[in-house]
């Protein structure tokens, strides 16, 4: 099995998520009767479907993604066509956006996917590095990673809803139970999301390895990740300085209204989908969608 060392723990975590879902369904049947089963199943499918549709639309809209002109970026289009032909998959839509940072992300499913590349990324990377990043995003679509993540997030939402209703309908159904239900639901959802995020981190390792297989070597992607990481750090430093300068200006000019830069919001909204996210401390890495950058680079070069 390809990527056995990564896919085995990913399969274990996925099995745990399925187990959580089954526990939630059984708990709902015990609390509300067996008649709740078809409602729970249909509701689960609808919830996950709505989350998938809204998530894709929101991600593209948040960065103002536009179609990648084929005349101007013919090499990228031709590369994607070659990879899709090799993988026997439909060519995804290619889009470009001003994200404020060098990055890329994929949304959608196999047969109806979209890859978004930032202008900053195209300007930063050479051809081989850019192709490896695009291959990484194509791997996410080919492996149905986006759908898997939506399923995981949907399961977390379903379990939280079941927990909330159980608290409400097994208590006095008063204001105290209402607030207790909200607290319990959030705690349960956060606990399950930790497992979903673990799957997301494994997905990144698999997509890196798949991109390496496509290109034939991991060095271009390793260099690309280094450049992306450095570019993001520089952007964060500049944003921090700009925020400090704006704060100083606001203190001098209380009557003037300042505007928050759009790029910071964009990076935060789509960071879970992007090829790179900020490296953090140990506790923050547990709730991160991406593994530490240095570990990914080390795997590609080992």
Which residue in the list 120, 137, 204, 212 is annotated as catalytic? 137
SS3 (DSSP) at 274: strand
Map tokens 């105290």 to a residue: 176
Q: Give the C-alpha separation, 96 to 294, whole Å.
A: 27
66-67 and 93-97 beta bridge pairing:
antiparallel
DSSP E strands, the chain = 66-67, 93-97, 104-109, 112-118
112-118 and 93-97 beta bridge pairing:
parallel
Structure tokens at 298: 């080390």
Q: Do 239 and 267 contact (CB within 8 A), yes or no? A: no
Write the CA distances from 202 to 43, 165, 188, 190, integer angstroms: 28, 33, 22, 19
Length of the chain: 302
CB atoms within 10 A of CB 265: 13
Cα-to-chain-centroid distance, residue 125: 22
Residue 137 is a catalytic residue: yes
Residue 128 parent element (H or E): helix 127-142
**Among candidate residues 212, 207, 112, 198, the one with its CA nearest the CA of residue 149:** 198
Annotated catalytic residues are 137
């Amino acid at each position: 099995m390809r990527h056995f060392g990564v896919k085995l723990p990913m399969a274990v975590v996925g099995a745990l998520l399925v187990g959580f879902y089954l526990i939630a369904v059984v708990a709902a049947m015990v609390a509300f009767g067996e008649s709740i089963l078809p409602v729970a199943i249909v509701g689960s499918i609808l919830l996950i479907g709505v989350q998938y549709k809204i998530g894709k639309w929101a991600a593209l809209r948040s960065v103002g993604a536009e179609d990648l002109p084929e005349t101007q970026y013919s090499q990228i289009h031709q590369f994607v066509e070659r990879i899709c032909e090799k993988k026997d998959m439909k060519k995804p839509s290619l889009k470009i956006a001003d994200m404020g940072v060098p990055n890329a992300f994929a949304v959608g499913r196999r047969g109806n996917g979209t890859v978004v590349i930032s202008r900053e990324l195209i300007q930063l990377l050479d051809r081989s590095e850019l192709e490896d990043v695009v291959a990484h995003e194509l791997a996410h679509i080919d492996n149905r990673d986006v759908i898997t993540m939506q399923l995981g997030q949907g399961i977390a939402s379903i379990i939280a809803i079941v927990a909330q209703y159980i608290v409400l309908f097994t208590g006095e159904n008063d204001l105290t139970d209402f607030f207790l239900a909200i607290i319990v639901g959030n705690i349960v959802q956060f606990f399950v999301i930790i497992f979903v995020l673990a799957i997301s981190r494994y997905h990144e390792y698999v997509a890196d390895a798949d991109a390496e297989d496509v290109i034939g070597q991991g060095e271009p992607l390793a260099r690309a990740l280094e450049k992306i990481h450095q570019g993001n750090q520089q952007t964060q430093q500049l944003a921090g300085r700009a925020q400090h300068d704006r704060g100083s200006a606001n203190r001098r000019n209380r009557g003037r209204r300042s505007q928050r830069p759009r790029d910071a919001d964009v990076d935060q909204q789509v960071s879970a989908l992007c090829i790179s996210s900020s490296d953090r401390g140990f506790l923050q890495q547990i709730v991160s969608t991406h593994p530490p950058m240095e570990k990914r680079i080390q795997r590609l070069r080992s």
